[in-house]
């Protein structure tokens, strides 16, 4: 309960500042976008992805670095989490402002309506759950690093460079 009240106060303060500086906030669209971030699970998804970043062995926070002791790496990790928590409302505000500019108010209303249904709730949970985020991340990583995908990337890059196999690459600009 306390967490919800504190979050609403922080978001409310951020919205008050934004209302003074952004005319679009006066119509309530930004409030709706904040609501959309809650009902579509985006907020939880961001937290899940951040947690996975911090725990991943591929994360810069976890890779051994001869210049840093384990205590220093832990302090950096902890500092990242603390800074994120301290600035969480600013992170949400950045996302909300970006979405506010990209979506019409009708789009936001329709998305809220969908994510407020049982199907929309189930979809958001399926997409944003920790296990699903991990599975999605692994699937995307596997796809993006597959030989087939990399071959298509190279084919596109060579076509843009007008490179023919066995030919010379153009000189850098």
Query: Tens digits of per-residue pLDDT, 80-96?
Result: 888 877 888 888 888 88
What is the domain partition of the chain in residue ranges? 2-128, 130-164
Rounded Cα–Cα distance for residues 131 and 93 (Å): 26
Is the separation of the CB atoms in 2 and 77 below 8 Å?
Answer: no
Give, rounded to a whole angstrom, the gap between the first and last alpha carbons of the chain: 59
pLDDT in tens, 29-77: 999 998 888 888 887 777 777 777 777 777 777 777 788 788 888 888 8
- The span from the CA of 114 to the CA of 18, in Å, is 27
d(CA 53, CA 163): 37
Question: 165 pLDDT band (50/70/90 cuts)?
Answer: low
Mean pLDDT throughout 13-27? 39
Buried b (16+ CB within 10 A) or exposed e, 111-146: bbebbeeeebeeebeeebbeeebeebeeeeeeeeee
């Amino acid at each position: 309960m306390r967490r919800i009240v504190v979050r609403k106060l922080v978001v409310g303060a951020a919205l008050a500042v934004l209302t003074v500086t952004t005319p679009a906030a006066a119509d309530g669209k930004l409030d709706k976008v904040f609501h959309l971030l809650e009902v579509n699970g985006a907020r939880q998804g961001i937290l899940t992805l951040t947690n996975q970043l911090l725990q991943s062995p591929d994360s810069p926070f976890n890779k051994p670095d001869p210049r840093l002791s384990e205590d220093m790496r832990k302090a950096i990790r902890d500092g990242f989490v603390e800074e994120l928590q301290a600035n969480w409302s600013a992170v949400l505000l950045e996302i909300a402002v970006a979405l506010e500019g990209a979506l019409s108010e009708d789009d936001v209303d329709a998305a809220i309506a969908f994510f407020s249904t049982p199907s929309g709730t189930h979809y958001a949970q399926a997409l944003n759950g920790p296990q699903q985020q991990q599975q999605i991340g692994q699937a995307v990583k596997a796809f993006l690093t597959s030989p087939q995908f990399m071959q298509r990337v190279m084919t596109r890059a060579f076509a843009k460079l007008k490179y023919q196999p066995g030919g010379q690459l153009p000189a850098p600009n």
